[in-house]
Amino acid sequence: MLIDSHCHLDFEELNKDLELVVQRALKLDVAVLQTICTQISKFKLIYEVAEKYSNIYCSVGNHPLYLKEEGVTDCASILEFCRLSKVIGIGETGLDYYHTDFDKLSQKKSFIEHIKASQACGLPIIIHTRSADDDTLGILREQMQEKSFTGVIHCFTASRGLANACIDMGLYISASGILTFRNATDIQQTFKELPEDRIIIETDAPFLAPSPFRGKVNEPSYLTHTALFLANLRSKSFQEIAKITTDNFFRLFTKVGR
């Protein structure tokens, strides 16, 4: 069994054929999906998807690049959604300095409010970080000193130093289809060496389809390609990697029953 820990089933590319997308995933034993919230204003649709299927769960949060539309949602407001039975994570949240049109202060405030919600309710935080290693690490360390929390760096593309620091804090690291890209040698080396009890996998569908589907619309069924690549990278069998990443998912997202 595989688990797609991070996909976006509310996005039109997947939502228009959702039943077929889910069935194709199940056919390849991608048995559990987490559809990720990027805008709290659109949470209703995300939760409707999760409620419709017994094997789909969701998160709640605002992506840093949507803060112009969403504003900074406070911890108390995030916690209201966390009480819902299908909400298993908080995010995605974090820092994205890659694009020139961003507000660092709003991103930092939003990130901290999401972390405080995680600290308050115990749900893991789903972290997006791009071109922001130092500030991401600084906020994580500062908040961890106030009260411990858990979570995952999703779609990991950052430095090995950030990966090591996050693992030292008890966080997990998630591999996406980027791992399979020919030019992703640094990321491949990181995932070759990470402790196996801290690795989970994702598609980030509809984005970042793995080879041999690179450039096409991604979907949860393609997770098998990332899992197989990771297995070969770490000299494991496909079945071993499936078990490792599945066990790690359930260890992190404890609200999901096995």
Buried b (16+ CB within 10 A) or exposed e, 206-227: bbbbbbeeeeeebbbbbbbbbb
| Residue 48 among known ligand-binding residues | no
| Residue 146 among known ligand-binding residues | no
Q: Determine phi and psi for 59, rounding to 5 degrees.
A: -120, 175
CA neighbor of 120 nearest in space, from 75, 81, 87: 75
Q: What's 37's DSSP letter?
A: P
Q: What's 83's DSSP letter?
A: T
- Within a 10 A sphere around the Cβ of 98, how many other Cβ atoms? 11
Q: Are 226 and 28 contacting, i.e. CB atoms less than 8 angstroms apart? A: no
Q: CA 165 to CA 181: how far, in whole Å?
A: 25
| Residue 99 among known ligand-binding residues | no
| Residue 92 among known ligand-binding residues | yes
| Cα–Cα distances in angstroms (integers) from residue 222 to residues 118, 149, 154, 181, 202, in the given order | 30, 31, 17, 14, 10
Q: Are 78 and 114 contacting, i.e. CB atoms less than 8 angstroms apart? A: yes
Q: Are 62 and 110 contacting, i.e. CB atoms less than 8 angstroms apart? A: yes
| Residue 13 among known ligand-binding residues | no
| Residue 63 among known ligand-binding residues | no
Q: Which residues pair with 4 in a beta bridge?
A: 33
Structure tokens at 77: 């407001």
Cα angle: 164, vertex 247, 232; to 5 degrees? 65
Q: Are 171 and 152 contacting, i.e. CB atoms less than 8 angstroms apart? A: yes
Annotated binding-site positions? 6, 8, 92, 128, 154, 204
Annotated binding-site positions for a divalent metal cation? 6, 8, 92, 128, 154, 204
